[in-house]
């Protein structure tokens, strides 16, 4: 059996949580492969809202196994807090022994560096993501599996603090006492030990036994460390390829790939965003779409659908299908716009470019529609909404397999 994959196509917050939750009803396992508690995935079932950051969005399917892969950076503190919402995770939540930990100094470094960057701040979530991945790549990180031997881990952390003392002191990052380190690690060990596993072998076994596995991406393609709008990106490979290294799968293990995109665009944090609308339309999208971050509560910047970026993302990820989310947010606009090309210094490009900050969007305008909210059949969508969907399909060269018309699990059109 091959594993199917869900990936964000834009700058995150596309509605991945809703789709993963919906699909998880038919899967035996859901696995996260990158990111950390910078992610915020909202699921709404029968009007009840649940926000997830680290636990995979398959958790509401009681019979599915949920895996946090080695490519995820795990804050034990945040995970323990999140786990408290559920009383039945034993035997259905597993954390890779190879996943790196986010510890309090990573969070302090993240925040201190953002302050120092001043006007050039990335606008990170302040969750220690960049510093934790930096430690991993620098080979000074600490892995979840090390919680099995607290004595050894606290000694190793003590050495880390000794070596890095000058840097940490300059940044104003507090170095915890040996006693405090041990005390914290003990809490993490007590809470997390039963969940630590060799998740790579676990995923291999599931696939060998013909079990259905869904891989859940966090963030979005345009935040990918290699292919996104660097340096205004996150610190992991958010694209589908990240699932291989982030879980221990081979490219041959991946089956269907579904890209998740909003019917418009949003971005939290800083960095270029060609179709951002600074006027009334942007404000209307934010108000109607409740575009405020699940993790930090920050206002999301809003603008029109960018077909150039979407086509780029579909190719990078190898999308078999796209799900178009939040179509209902465009209800009531007299005209809707799609960016079909970029203009850079008078030249037209239909390709994504190295420096997105220089780009001016070339728009195609279409007639709007009254109401798509809550519609669950394509033929019941207003004609202009149908045309809009078909145009996205044409421009991106990717089949649209699902359309979402409200936050609720049930309001989804399957094509």
Give the interface with ligand GDP as residue ranges (CB under 6 A).
8, 12-18, 40-42, 44, 294, 325-326, 328-329, 404-407
What are the angstrom distances between the C-alpha of 20 and each of 32, 152, 193, 259? Answer: 11, 38, 27, 11
Q: Decide: 349 and 386 in contact? Cβ < 8 Å.
A: no
Residue whose CB is less far from Mg ion, 47 or 297:
297
Rounded to the nearest 5°, which phi and psi values hold at 247? -135, -20
Q: How far is the CB of 158 from ligand IMO (least distance, A)?
A: 27
Q: Which does 242 bind (CB under 5 to 8 A by kind): ligand GDP, ligand IMO, Mg ion, none?
A: none
Take residue 189 and report the two structure tokens written for it. Answer: 């060990």
Number of residue whose CB is nearest ligand IMO: 269
Q: Which residues bind ligand IMO (CB under 6 A)?
A: 8, 11-13, 38-41, 122-125, 127, 129-130, 218-220, 223, 234-235, 268-269
The first and second tokens of residue 101, run together, are 């930990």
Place of tokens 């960049």: 130
List residues with catalytic annotation: 13, 41
8 A C-beta contact, residue 260 and residue 16: yes
Give, to the nearest 10 degrees, the angle between helix 150-171 and helix 104-117: 20
Tell me the closest approach of the beta carbon of residue 130 to ligand IMO, in angstroms.
5
Bridge partners of 42?
51
227 touches, from ligand GDP, ligand IMO, Mg ion, none (C-beta below 5 to 8 Å by class): none
Query: Minimal distance in Å, beta carbon 219 to ligand GDP?
Result: 8
Q: Are 95 and 79 in contact (CB under 8 A)?
A: yes
**Per CB under 5 A, does 21 bind Mg ion?**
no
129 binds, among Mg ion, ligand IMO, ligand GDP, none (CB under 5 to 8 A by kind): ligand IMO
H helix or E strand, kind and range, residue 268: none
Residue 134 or 294 having the CB closest to ligand GDP:
294
Q: Among 4, 9, 11, 13, which residue interacts with Mg ion (rule: CB under 5 A)?
A: 13
Q: Which of residues 282-341 bind Mg ion (CB under 5 A)?
A: 294
Q: Are 392 and 259 in contact, with CB atoms under 8 Å apart? A: no
Both tokens assigned to 106: 């990573």
**By C-beta, is 104 or 294 nearer to ligand GDP?**
294
Considering the rule CB under 5 A, would residue 40 count as an interface residue with Mg ion? Answer: yes
Instruction: Work out how close the CB of 323 gets to ligand GDP at its nearest, in angstroms, rounded to a whole number.
Output: 9
Q: Which one, of 16, 114, 1, lies nearest residue 402 by Cα? A: 16
Round to whole Å and give the CA distance between 365 and 361.
Answer: 12
Q: How far is the CB of 364 from ligand IMO (least distance, A)?
A: 26
Q: Which residues bind Mg ion (CB under 5 A)?
A: 13, 40, 294
């Amino acid at each position: 059996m091959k594993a199917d994959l869900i990936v964000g196509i834009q700058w995150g917050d596309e509605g991945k949580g809703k789709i993963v939750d919906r699909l998880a009803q038919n899967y035996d396992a859901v696995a996260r492969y990158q990111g950390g508690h910078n992610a915020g995935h909202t699921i709404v079932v029968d009007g009840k809202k649940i926000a997830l950051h680290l636990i995979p969005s398959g958790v509401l399917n009681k019979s599915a196994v949920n895996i946090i892969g080695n490519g995820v950076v795990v804050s034990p503190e945040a995970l323990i807090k999140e786990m408290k919402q559920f009383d039945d995770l034993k035997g259905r939540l597993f954390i890779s022994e190879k996943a790196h930990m986010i510890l309090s100094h990573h969070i302090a470094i993240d925040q201190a560096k953002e302050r120092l960057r001043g006007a050039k701040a990335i606008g990170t979530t302040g969750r220690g993501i960049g510093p934790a991945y930096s430690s991993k790549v620098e080979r000074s990180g600490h892995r979840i599996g090390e919680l099995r031997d607290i004595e050894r881990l606290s000694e190793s952390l003590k050495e880390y603090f000794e070596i890095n003392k000058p840097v940490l002191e300059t940044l104003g990052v507090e170095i915890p006492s040996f006693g405090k380190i041990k005390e914290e690690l003990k809490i993490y060990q007590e809470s997390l030990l039963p969940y630590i596993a060799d998740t790579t072998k676990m995923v291999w076994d599931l696939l060998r036994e013909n079990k259905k596995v869904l891989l859940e991406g966090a963030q979005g393609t345009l935040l990918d460390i290699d292919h996104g709008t660097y340096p205004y990106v996150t610190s992991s490979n958010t694209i589908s390829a990240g699932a291989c290294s982030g879980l221990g799968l081979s490219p041959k293990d991946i089956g269907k790939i579904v890209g998740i995109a909003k019917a418009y665009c949003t971005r939290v944090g800083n960095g270029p965003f060609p179709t951002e609308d600074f006027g009334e339309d942007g404000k209307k999208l934010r108000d109607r779409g409740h575009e405020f971050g699940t993790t930090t509560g920050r206002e999301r910047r809003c603008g029109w659908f960018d077909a150039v970026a979407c086509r780029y993302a579909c190719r990078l990820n190898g999308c078999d299908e796209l799900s178009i989310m939040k179509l209902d947010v465009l209800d009531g606009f007299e005209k809707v716009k799609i960016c079909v090309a970029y203009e850079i210094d008078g030249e037209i490009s239909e390709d994504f470019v190295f420096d997105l900050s220089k780009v001016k969007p070339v728009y195609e305008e279409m007639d709007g529609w009254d109401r798509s909210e809550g519609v669950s059949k394509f033929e019941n969508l207003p004609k202009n909404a149908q045309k809009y969907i078909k145009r996205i399909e044409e421009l991106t060269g990717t089949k649209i397999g699902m359309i979402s018309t409200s936050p609720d699990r049930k309001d989804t059109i399957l094509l």
